[in-house]
Amino acid sequence: MSSVQLTNITKKFKDVTAVEDLNLTINEGEFFTFLGPSGCGKTTTLRMIAGFYYPTAGTITFNDRDMTKVPPEKRNTGMVFQNYALFPHMSVFENVAFGLKVRKLNKSDIKRKVMDVLEKVRLEQYYDRQVSQLSGGQQQRVALARALVIEPDILLLDEPLSNLDARLRDQMRTEILRLQRDFGITTIYVTHDQVEALTMSDRIAVFNMGKCQQVGTPLDIYNNPVNDFVAQFIGETNLFPVEPEITDEQIKVYKLKDSNFKIHAKHKKSEISDDKHSGLYMSIRPEAVRLKNEKMEGNNVVEGVIEIVQFTGASVHFFVRVDKSITVRITRLNKGPHTYFNEGDKVFVQLPEEHIRIVPKAGE
Amino acid sequence: MMNAENRRTAMLLIPISLVLIGYVLYPSIETIIESFKSQDAFSFKNYEDFFGSKASANLEALWNSVWISILSVFFSALIGVPLAFIFNRYDFPGRKFFSSVAIMPIVLPSLVGVMAFMFLYGEAGLVPNAIKDLFNLSEVPFSIGGVSGILIVHAYTMYPYFYMTTSSALRNLDPSLEEAAFNLGSNRFKVFWKVTFPLLTPGLVAASLLVFMVSMASFSAPFLLAGGFRVLSLQIYFSKINGDLEMAATQSVILSVVSILFLLFMRWFQERKDYRMASKGIGAHRSEVNNPILKWTMVTIGILSMIILLLPHATLLILSLVPEGAWTWQTYPTAFSLENFKLLFEDPNIWDPVRNSLVMSFIACIGVFVFGIITSYTLVKRKFVGKNLLDILVMIPWALPATVVGMNLILAFNEKSIFSFGSILVGAYWILPLAYFIRFLPLVVRSTNAVLEQMDDSLEEAAKNLGAKWFYTFRRVVIPFILPGVLSGTLLAFVQAVGEFPTSVLLYTLDNRPISIEIMNQLRMFNIGQAAAYGMIQVALISIVIFISDKFLGIKAERSL
Ligand SMILES: Nc1ncnc2c1ncn2[C@@H]1O[C@H](COP(=O)(O)OP(=O)(O)OP(=O)(O)O)[C@@H](O)[C@H]1O
Ligand SMILES: [Mg+2]
């Protein structure tokens, strides 16, 4: 088991900067996720850790050992590729045994270890199958077994579930977590699926355009996004540009851009580095917004008309137009038909102060 | 910075460049230099002669080569495309069998094929004489020879290019496209011209260019059939025989320029227009033929073309059973026996050429196998500057007509050079294996490239990630993955080397005379039976290879061209 430290890592491909000045520490035994939209540099970072790319600048250390220039075969990382990269000319057993054969273990040890790990991924009866005769989920587990059997210091997974259908994805998510806890292995998981990231990770690093935007626990990232990108990328949110009006110690009032609405907010000074920041946004999650057919007490109450009602089963989404340029999205649990509003209803919307976050625009 | 990866690439590139420079580039340059020499001084005299009035036969030969090639393209397409349509679009009794017979010309090596045609349709051929006797004519009604002979042989041996490209295009063509057009109200004729045909054009153009190049380079057919008719590939041979190496070099350069221009044009065309189908998975649909007249017409076409296609094979078999002296002045052979095959194993003089061919092809193929894998791997999986250059260098022997490859070797190795380790190769045993190696290297590199391109980089990465060093990965992951493709390419190279005629006739010596030379000798001595028996050996070898590739390596015969 290892911790991983990335210090001032930059990776350039000719004139494309795939990763820029990245600093990260991944602790021993942690399930750490790289999350971000397509092309933001997640794979590139993972491949630098595996040793397939060398950083243009910066250092990579495992447990204080400098690994920046070590070739991939000497790093003892176990990688699960997005397409699994199973050797098509070998059986399940031979695939899993490959890393052990390279390490020159004797035959009986190899056999024991391979069968052990196949049992862990519940594939022991498939050991002599050709890999082409396995289903997607089974292939995925062979890839996992092959990476785990060498007892790697770090397990690297690059979107391992993206080729599977929704139901299997759910199953495999639990499976991976179970194995990770079993082996207690430091794991780096790449995904662009926020649900996957939130449900599985100990900590998440959110990437955008080659830069790490925020590192934190799933709770932290969801509740306290540091900028508009993170707020918007993780979960649903209502995001409006605002300008500061009064910002002293007690009262903070912002004005929605291009309208007269005053927004009262409560937040600690430390949350925004600089209130005079060029662009500020207010973010509020749809489930935090209150909705009633009569005027409510307190600040931040506006009147609007229900424009769209979407029913998703467990919850109901309402889109309320409060101004010609502003629509608020509201999510409520489904508590029965008597609680529904209809399209065209006049309603009141409250944005509770304690749920409002004022965040800066993400740096370019 | 020279990291481990770059060092490895360099280690791979050094032997590859040495071989390609020594045996492809250097000989080509020697030929170009020779073509500018006149009495050991630099001059344009050879080119002036070529295009001038002094040696007008040359210009005539160039012109003949070009129009023969154009007509060959036309006739090959005329046979190949309709056959492909009939066999792929209609379902009628025996369709499957007929369609597998349709590619039978590929099992006849060119020299052997030409020979079979001579004895079938030539002046003394079986078919014209049979018709003459049947109808009591005073003269044979027709016979092939000269231009018509060359054209018929070309059409027969080259139409499979059209047949295969059209068939595979038709199979890949999504039927819903045509159905959509019908659905939008087009009639059959319109659908063909507006939808089907445009989708077939890329394949047809590629096949046309290929057939053009192959018939520009064609040697065996003119060699045996031309009579007084001149084509450029043959002129090179005559110049060399007459000892005029400078003119042979000049002719080689001009023939090469034409061929390479066509190759470049073909590449450009393929890159420009490659619309693959976006959808897949739907098998071709065949209309079942219900109209009895149409159905039996199709079956008749099938049977007739099968007979015509297999007649050369049958002729070859029959001829191979004619012992020496049993068919000299008679209209038909008078006796049959297994004498010729028995002699193969009893008379060392008869067996020697077979052994020579097998041994030399084997040597060449070991080289092609090892070197082909390394070259292809480097080309496909490694990054380095000058990749395009290397790619072109590997493919030059493919674009060059065989006669030119032979001339290049003669001009490069008729004196001592470092690439021949200080000895003169012309007149030595080793020059033929070397020639086969160079001739068939592109074939193996191409078939290996095709499989390597299918291999995702992540396989190698996965092996490295599991701790395997480069060589272990190469041995345990890369080679097993590509082996079937490489083996089938190498086997094909082997049988083609066994049948190779143009370079053999330029470079052979008494010690290493291969089968094809002996066929020529036996024909000269009118020992047709023995020549045909040699031919049968080649046909058997090719059939075995195609069978092995198909059954054990999973490579279809269509892909091997
Ligand atoms: N080998 C390469 N050569 C050149 N550019 C590259 C290379 N690999 C990645 N890039 C570029 O670097 C950027 C980051 O790519 P990366 O593959 O890391 O994205 P990603 O976050 O994994 O995206 P995805 O979710 O689509 O897999 C992209 O702009 C990509 O085009
Ligand atoms: Mg990626």
User: Is A57 part of the contact surface with chain B (CB cutoff 8 Å)?
Assistant: no
> Of the ligands numbered here, which is closest to the C-alpha atom of A34?
1
Q: Which atom of ligand 1 is nearest to the CA of A40?
A: 21
Confidence (pLDDT) at B429:
82
CA dist A238 to A320, A329, A340, B278, Å? 11, 6, 21, 40
The answer to whether the CB of A13 is under 6 A from ligand 1 is yes
- pLDDT over threshold 90, residue B96: no
Size of interface A-B (CB pairs under 8 A): 65
The answer to whether the CB of A57 is under 6 A from ligand 1 is no
Pairwise CB contact (< 8 Å): B467 & A78: no
Listed by start position, the domains of chain A span: 4-223, 228-360
Comparing alpha-carbon positions, the chain B residue that sits nearest to A154 is B465
CB A234 within 8 A of CB A225: yes
Q: Identify all chain B residues contacting A99, using CB atoms and an 8 Å cutoff.
A: 466-468
Average pLDDT of span B359-379: 94
Q: Name the least confident of A26-35, B344-353, B363-372.
A: B344-353
The answer to whether the CB of A39 is under 6 A from ligand 1 is yes
Query: Which residue among A50, A86, A103 sits closest to B465, beta carbon to beta carbon?
Result: A50
The answer to whether the CB of A18 is under 6 A from ligand 1 is yes
User: Is B463 part of the contact surface with chain A (CB cutoff 8 Å)?
Assistant: yes
The answer to whether the CB of A191 is under 6 A from ligand 1 is no
- pLDDT over threshold 50, residue B329: yes
Closest residue by CA, ligand 1 atom 18: A41
Paired tokens of B268: 């450009």
Closest residue by CA, ligand 1 atom 1: A13
Residue B273: pLDDT band by 50, 70, 90 thresholds? low
Query: Which residue among A73, A77, A146 sits closest to B468, beta carbon to beta carbon?
Result: A73
Å from CA of B45 to ligand 1 middle: 58
The answer to whether the CB of A225 is under 6 A from ligand 1 is no
Sort residue A84 into left (φ over 0), alpha (ψ -120 to 50) or beta: left
Q: How far apart are CA A93 and CA A116, in angstroms?
A: 11
Paired tokens of B369: 């196998």
CB B9 within 8 A of CB B382: yes
> Of the ligands numbered here, which is closest to the C-alpha atom of A158?
2
CB A284 within 8 A of CB A351: yes
Confidence (pLDDT) at A251:
65
If 0-12 CB within 10 Å is exposed, 13-18 middle and 19+ buried, where does residue B529 land?
Answer: buried
Average pLDDT of span B443-452: 88
The answer to whether the CB of A44 is under 6 A from ligand 1 is yes
The answer to whether the CB of A16 is under 6 A from ligand 1 is yes
What count of other Cβ atoms lies within 10 Å of the Cβ of residue B521?
14
Supply the pTM of this predicted model. 0.82
pLDDT digits over B56-87, tens only? 788 888 889 999 999 999 999 999 998 888 88
What count of other Cβ atoms lies within 10 Å of the Cβ of residue A276?
8
First-to-final CA distance of chain B: 43
- pLDDT over threshold 60, residue B559: no
Show pLDDT as tens, one digit a residue, over chain A (364 residues): 789 999 999 999 988 999 999 999 999 999 999 999 998 999 999 999 999 999 999 999 999 899 998 888 889 999 999 888 999 888 999 999 999 999 999 999 999 999 999 998 888 899 999 888 898 889 988 999 999 999 899 999 998 888 778 887 888 888 889 889 888 899 999 998 888 999 999 999 999 999 999 999 999 999 889 888 999 999 889 998 888 777 666 667 777 777 778 888 876 654 555 545 568 888 999 999 999 888 888 888 888 999 999 988 889 999 999 888 889 999 998 888 777 788 888 999 999 988 888 888 887 5
Comparing alpha-carbon positions, the chain B residue that sits nearest to A101 is B468
Confidence (pLDDT) at B281:
41
Run of H or E including B488? helix B479-499
Pairwise CB contact (< 8 Å): A73 & B477: no
Pairwise CB contact (< 8 Å): A81 & B462: yes
Closest residue by CA, ligand 1 atom 11: A18
Q: How far apart are CA A181 and CA A66, in angstroms?
A: 27
User: Is A14 part of the contact surface with chain B (CB cutoff 8 Å)?
Assistant: no
Q: Is B75 helix (H, G, I), strand (E, B) or coil?
A: helix
Q: Between B510 and B290, whose confidence is greater? A: B510
Confidence (pLDDT) at A313:
86
Pairwise CB contact (< 8 Å): A150 & B467: yes
Paired tokens of A184: 């207690």
Cβ partners under 8 Å of residue A23, min gap 6 = A6, A7, A8, A9, A212
Å from CA of A362 to ligand 2 middle: 22
Interface of B with A in 475-534 (CB under 8 A): 476-477, 480-481
pLDDT digits over A243-269, tens only? 877 766 666 777 777 777 888 887 665
Average pLDDT of span B504-515: 89
| Triad A103, A107, A110: Cα angle to 5° | 60
Comparing alpha-carbon positions, the chain B residue that sits nearest to A84 is B458
Å from CA of A190 to ligand 1 middle: 13
Mutation site, B8, B454, B466, B477, interface A, largest A CB count within 10 A: B466
User: Is A96 part of the contact surface with chain B (CB cutoff 8 Å)?
Assistant: no
Pairwise CB contact (< 8 Å): B477 & A87: yes
- pLDDT over threshold 90, residue B202: no
Assign a CATH topology to domain A228-360: OB fold (Dihydrolipoamide Acetyltransferase, E2P) (2.40.50)
- pLDDT over threshold 80, residue B228: no
Q: Name the residue among B399, B442, B441, B401 with its Cα closest to residue B220.
A: B401
Confidence (pLDDT) at B276:
46
Name the architecture of domain B44-320. Answer: Orthogonal Bundle (1.10)
Assign a CATH topology to domain A4-223: Rossmann fold (3.40.50)
Name the architecture of domain B1-36+337-561. Answer: Orthogonal Bundle (1.10)
For residue B289, what is the DSSP state? Answer: P
Q: How far apart are CA B86 and CA B80, in angstroms?
A: 10
Listed by start position, the domains of chain B span: 1-36+337-561, 44-320
Average pLDDT of span B406-427: 80
Pairwise CB contact (< 8 Å): A89 & B481: yes
Confidence (pLDDT) at A89:
87
Å from CA of A159 to ligand 2 middle: 7
The whole-chain average pLDDT of chain B stands at 83
The answer to whether the CB of A201 is under 6 A from ligand 1 is no
Q: How far apart are CA A148 and CA A127, in angstroms?
A: 16
Sort residue B136 into left (φ over 0), alpha (ψ -120 to 50) or beta: left
User: Do the domains spanning B1-36+337-561 and B44-320 agree at the CATH topology level?
Assistant: yes
Cβ partners under 8 Å of residue B437, min gap 6 = B23, B364, B367, B368, B371
Closest residue by CA, ligand 1 atom 31: A39
Q: Are strands A290-292 and A252-256 parallel, antiparallel or unpaired?
A: unpaired
For this complex, say whether ipTM is above 0.85: no
